[in-house]
Structures are given as structure tokens and as C-alpha cells.
Chain A
Amino acid sequence: MSRIDRRFAKLKSEGRTGLIPFVTAGDPSPQHAVPLMHALVDAGADVIELGVPFSDPMADGPVIQHASERAIAKGVGLGDVLGWVAQFRQRDADTPIVLMGYLNPIEIHGYQRFATEAVQAGVDGVLVVDCPLEESAVLEPLRQAGLQQILLAAPTTAPLRMVQLCGSAQGFLYYVSFAGITGAARLSTSDIATRVADIRSKSKAPVAVGFGVRDAQSAKAIAGFADAVVIGSALVERLAGAEGVDDVTARAKDFLAPIRAALDAH
């Protein structure tokens, strides 16, 4: 059983909703990347989504675009991100890590080489935003190496395709709560609830809901029907400009604590 599967099984047995924070690797500062990951866990993260910076993040809103740009300006590359995961693993053997990003950095790194290095570092899953199911044959070396491919489902996903996605889902299925980019603020909870209920009836994999979750209130609304909540842009925005390791980790904890509490109170 993979680390991700174990974590979701545990959440289920405890009757808790998972909290999945997203941070862009290397933002706000490369030297605090690893302490930040530990701080996320201390604040109640069940899975960490680590964004791999890319110059052309087509599906991301301004907050994550700018975080990517800042990280790239400081020279952050895929190799650094894998190094930080390996360092994180020295102290945390349990929290699953999913790398989220775009295909080109992996393609240029080399699929086989990436697969080997990512598994060695302790990465558990990979969510490649611009690699839909139809194109995911290129990710075969990653799956062979034991990395789980996290798939996205969207409000625009047609019913037949949803069945395919649910059938192919590994780890968890990431439901994009609205047709748009990351960080936008439009959520109709009842629509999402209906869609997520439909997906959960088709998918063996747990369902995490993201895009547009900003705070304790919106997270709590989703906790009623999802297995986990992903929170990205609002956290990245909060971390932007933080200076020094204490500031970075304190901001992460202050931001996540009320969300964790709201999810647990549900």
C-alpha cells in the first residue's frame, strides 16, 4: 500500500477530512523550503502538494504564477525540489508528497531519470497539470517506478470521460471545483457537492476538492462531502514576502490552524 493510500485509509478510519496544502517549491525562499514543509505537517497537513516552478503555468492564476516566477528567478529547478523532498524524508517518513506542475520540466529532465530520482527522494505522487489521460502514456516510466499519477476532474468533464478518469484514478482524484484558474473566488457549494457525490460513487479513489478554497469557512463547507480539501493560492499569497525561517513557518501555521480546526470540528 502506498503512502498516499495509507494516509487516506487512516483519515477514513478516523472519520476526518484530509487537509492538503499546496506551496510552490522554493517560494518564498529556497533555503526555507524544507522547514516550511515540516511546518505544514505540524499545522495538520495530511498530504503536501509541492509545486514545481514552471515559466508558463497556463492553468494557474496570478498568485501561483508570481510564486513560480520568484522561485525561477532564484534558480529553483526540478533537481532542487527533489533534493528538498529527500531532506524532508530524513525527519518525516509518513506524510505523502505529491509534486504538482507541468510536463516540460519532467520531459527535459528525462522521464526515466525523473522516475528513479523522485522515488529515491521519497516522492509519492505526481500531478502533471498539462498531461491529461489521453497523453499520459509518456508517464508510464513514472508509474512503473511506483509513483502514483494524480488525475484532475473538472466541472466540464463529460460523463463518459468521468467514468474513465474514475477508473484510472490512483492515490486520489483531484476535483477542480470550477472551470477557471487556481485562486479565483467562485464556489457554489451545492453544485460541487452534487458533482463530488457522483464522482465518489464511481471512483474507488478518494476525492480531494481544490481551486477556490480560501479559508476555514470555505474549507468547512467542502468537508461535508469531500475526502480532502486542497488549499493553494490563499496560502501561497500569505507566505509571499515572508522573511526568515520563523516568519515563514509561523505564517504557514497561523494560516492553516483555523482551517484544520474547522475541518476537525465538522
Chain B
Amino acid sequence: MSKIDFSAYPDEHGRFGNYGGSYVAETLMAPLAELTEAYLRLRQDPDFIAELDRDLKYYVGRPSPVYYAERLSQHVGGARILLKREDLNHTGAHKINNTIGQALVARRMGKPRIIAETGAGQHGVASATVAARFGLKCVVYMGAVDIERQKINVYRMKLLGADVVPVTSGSKTLKDALNEAMRDWVTNVADTFYIIGTVAGPHPYPLMVRDFNAIVGREAREQVQEQFGRLPDVITACVGGGSNAIGLFHAFLNDEGVRIVGAEAAGEGIATGHHAASLAAGRPGVLHGNRTYVLCDDNGQITETHSVSAGLDYPGVGPEHAFLKDAGRAEYVGVTDDEALEAFHLLARTEGILAALESSHAVAQAIKLAREYPKDGLVLCNLSGRGDKDVHTIAAREGVQV
């Protein structure tokens, strides 16, 4: 088989092999074409790139460090575990890499109003943050169930000046919030920019969101070489929609010697059916504007998902991950709620870091991988967000009154 150049995807139609594309209603074809045209121009515009870099440095606080988790590694007794500290970004997660980029695109396109969907509220907070930073009006769609689960983030968005609109259709969670944001966009395309929070949606979103998060892997690739004189043996990240994962993976895709493992939410176990592992347990289908792996029944109805972490609770996944899976370039495995929680506690006690529940899935996977490699091995894990937002969820689950 001839070698695949992974940096060459997507093609001009937004396709990653059989996945991706633009599966949207006719009304959205023109705004998507306008966005694609603007973004393809801006991604090569030195002024735009300089503006983005300035904000990433002085506002977000980049670069984030790669930290050798020595006590965690010793406790596990395997290879060295390195953490890419995206939790140290402004707003506490990788999400802002994307929202700052898209807000700058919105501003350049002359759109005064931004809309976003959110599940756990992290992308909503990151969108409300950049809206305030750039003086844009912001409306965030959030499932009514998620609003109940994530009250602190809802209040945070309101403090930042955003309107939070509850979505009561369907399962009242992230996928329905995405549908509703898409409906708003269809209706208000003239003045509105839709900031999608993950590498899903129609072209150019999977490309654009990946580009804005790819700084994670670019930095980490240099930082690991600088500190350890070589590339890592294996890299891992959690995968819901997959934006932090593709952010870490992208710079390494053409490094044949680097193994890539995505950790999906196996919830209560894949066999129970209560999970959100679209790649490990789903099938190719079409959802939210792109062809990808989805969780659905035999009638093609998208099924409800379960994960202890709201940010991984999504029945689809970015099309580039679907492509990487089929191409055999990346492996995707399930990590259960219990495994993630165990990793959360272990990291807290050995390193003094409270990881987000999403990121705890990646930590759990990094621990498993570390056991497979010798002591001088290098396992790089994306610590995509901090866990302060999850303290109440964890306490409630463990029967603790806070």
C-alpha cells in the first residue's frame, strides 16, 4: 500500500476519504460556501495568523507546558507519562483555541452575532468568553437536561453576557442543541456566525476546528523532542466529538513511529449499551452535516448516549477520526466511567492535578498504555481540561455532600 499523506486531508469537498462532506439543507449551502471561501483565504493570511498568535499568547496563555508526571508514572510502574497541560489555558480547557480562532473569522466576515451549542457548557463558556473579548453578541443553545446538570457553567455564561437558550426537543442534550443552533443559523445567516465546538458538522468546520486546535500537537511535538530528545512512543487523548484529540494527533499523523490511541467513553461498559463510543461500537452514517461513525438503531434513529462526562456524551464523532480508524492510523478504545474516575483520583493524589472527567478518560488510557511500554518509554497524554467544573458531579456520584 502506498503511504498516505495525512496532512493532505480533507479534499476540496471537505471529504476525509469516505467521511465528512456537506450533508445540509439547501439553505445552508450558500453560507457554508461563503464561510469556506473566507476561511481558506484567512488561514493563509499573515495578518490573520499574527492576530491569532497574539491572542493565543497573551489572552489564552500559550504555549501550555508538557509536564512529566513522575509520581504518577512511578505509581503505575511503566513508561513515563507526559501531560500536555491544556487545562492551564484561559477558561481551563482546549476549547478556547477554537473559539478564539472562529471569533476572529466571524469578526473578519463582519458578523456581529455568534451562536454556539454546548453540552457540558465548556464550549459555551469559551464562546461567551471570546464574544465578550471581541464585543460580539452571543447566544448559546444548551439541552434542558444539560442545563440542569451544569448549572455553574450556565451562570458563568450569563456572567459573560451570553444568552443561554434551553433546548427541549429530542433527548434535550448536546445533539439537540446542535440541531437548534443549526436552525438559528439557517434563519439568521445574514448577521450570524455559528461557532461549532468540535470537529464535526459540515465542511469547512471539521477542517477549521482541527486547524485551530492543531497548535496542541505542534507545540507538544516540539516540547517532547526538546525535553526528551525524541518523539513519544504513543500519544492519547479522549474522543467525544474529537477536537482535543485531533488537535494533539494531527502533527503526529505522518510520524509513522508514533502510535495513536483515542479514548472514547465506554460509560457503563460497551456491552451494556450505555456508552458514547461511536467509533468502537457505532457504524458509518450521516449526522449533523457529515458522514461519520454514529450510534443509531436499525431504523437509522440516532440513539441516546451515556457518559459520566457530559463533554463526551455525543452519538457522532469528527469525520477525520472515522477516516483515521478505517485507515488504521489510529486506534479507538473505550474507557468506562469507573476507569475514568479512578484515574481522576490517582492523578489528583499523585500529581496535585484535578483533571476534567473528559480528560480523565485520556489519563486512564495513558495509564494502561504506560504498562505496555518499558520504563524509558514515552506516553504523551492530552490533559484537555481542568476538573473544577466536575467536582459536584464526582461528589454526588460518590455520595458526598458538598
State the A residues within 8 Å of B (CB).
53-59, 61-62, 65-66, 69, 72, 77-79, 102-109, 129-132, 134-135, 151-158, 161, 165, 176, 179-181, 184
Contact = CB atoms under 8 A, between A and B. Distances in A.
Contacts of A156: 26-31, 189
B208 interface: no
Given A132-B22, A132-B24, A158-B30, A58 B189 contact: no
Contacts of A66: 169
Contact of B23 (A61, A62, A135, A181): A135
Central interface residue in A77, A107, A130, A131, by most chain B CB within 10 Å: A130
A56 B179 contact: yes
B300 A109 contact: yes
B247 to A, nearest CB: 26
29 contacts: A54-B300, A55-B301, A56-B179, A56-B287, A58-B24, A59-B27, A61-B183, A69-B169, A78-B299, A102-B286, A103-B286, A104-B286, A104-B287, A104-B300, A108-B300, A130-B289, A131-B23, A132-B23, A132-B24, A152-B27, A154-B29, A154-B30, A156-B27, A156-B28, A156-B29, A157-B30, A161-B30, A176-B25, A184-B187
Given A152-B26, A156-B27, A158-B30, A58 B183 contact: yes
A221 to B, nearest CB: 21
B294 interface: yes
Contacts of A181: 183, 186-187
Contact of B21 (A61, A135, A155): A135
Interface in B257-301: 283-289, 294, 296, 298-301
A54 B169 CA distance: 12
Contacts of B288: 56, 58
Contacts, number: 128
Interface in B352-383: none
A105 B301 contact: yes
Nearest to A109: B300
Nearest to B304: A55
A104 B33 contact: no
Given A179-B189, A180-B186, A180-B187, A158 B33 contact: yes
Contacts of A154: 25-27, 29-30
Contact of B179 (A57, A79, A161): A57
A161 B299 contact: no
Central interface residue in B13, B22, B31, by most chain A CB within 10 Å: B22
Contacts of B287: 56, 104
A155 B285 CA distance: 29
Contact of A78 (B31, B169, B300): B300
Given A55-B296, A69-B170, A132-B23, 8 more contacts: A59-B27, A77-B301, A104-B287, A108-B300, A130-B286, A156-B28, A156-B29, A181-B183
Interface in B236-268: none
A69 B285 CA distance: 20
A58 B179 contact: yes
A179 B179 contact: no
Nearest to A65: B169
Contacts of A158: 30, 33
Nearest to A78: B299
A82 to B, nearest CB: 12
Contacts of B29: 132, 134, 154, 156-157, 161
A58 B25 CA distance: 8
A72 to B, nearest CB: 6
B301 A72 contact: yes
Given A65-B169, A104-B300, A105-B299, A179 B21 contact: no
B346 interface: no
A66 B170 CA distance: 8
A108 B30 contact: no
A153 B301 CA distance: 26
Given A107-B286, A181-B183, A56 B24 contact: no
A248 to B, nearest CB: 23
A56 B302 CA distance: 7
A106 B183 contact: no
A216 B23 CA distance: 34
Contacts of A105: 299-301
B81 interface: no
A181 B187 CA distance: 7
Contacts of A176: 25-27
Interface in B1-43: 13, 21-31, 33
Nearest to B183: A181
A151 B29 CA distance: 13
B66 interface: no
Closest 5 CB pairs of A and B: A105-B300, A77-B299, A108-B300, A156-B30, A152-B26
A146 B283 CA distance: 28
Contacts of B182: 58
Given A56-B175, A104-B285, A108-B298, A130 B24 contact: yes
B192 to A, nearest CB: 11
A174 B177 CA distance: 27
Contacts of B27: 59, 152, 154-156, 176, 179-180
Given A55-B170, A108-B296, A180-B187, A130 B25 contact: yes
A230 to B, nearest CB: 14
B195 to A, nearest CB: 17
A131 B170 CA distance: 22
Contact of B301 (A54, A62, A135, A184): A54
